Amino acid sequence: MSYFAIMFETDDTNFSRVEDAIHTVSKGECQKISHNFWIVKTTIHPDAKKVRDYIKNYLKLDFDDKVFVVAVKNDESPWASWGLEKKVVDWLTSKP
């Protein structure tokens, strides 16, 4: 099991398609942190490149869409936040 942070940019007409792809790649084990930033847990894709390649299939590459994926490691204090909604912090805190 791996955790990844995903940030993407796309136009409003394509936004829900990309969010659906994020739900699919994580089998629903995901949390929207802000407008276009997600944390996902996945067992399907073991590395950031494979997650990126999956999400990229849902982007409009000829319209300057972007995606950034980075692995989130579980170690001491793996994340810190300020100003996030309580449900987001609760979700992040509940994960091993």
The reported pTM is 0.80
Question: For the chain, first and last CA: distance in Å?
Answer: 11
Domain ranges of the chain: 2-94
> What CATH number is given for 2-94 in this structure?
3.30.70.240
The model's pLDDT over 31-44, given as tens digits with 9 standing for 90+, comes to 999 999 999 998 88
- Taking CA atoms, 83 is separated from 33, 70, 73, 89, in Å, by 11, 22, 22, 10
The model's pLDDT over 41-68, given as tens digits with 9 standing for 90+, comes to 988 877 899 999 999 999 987 778 999 9
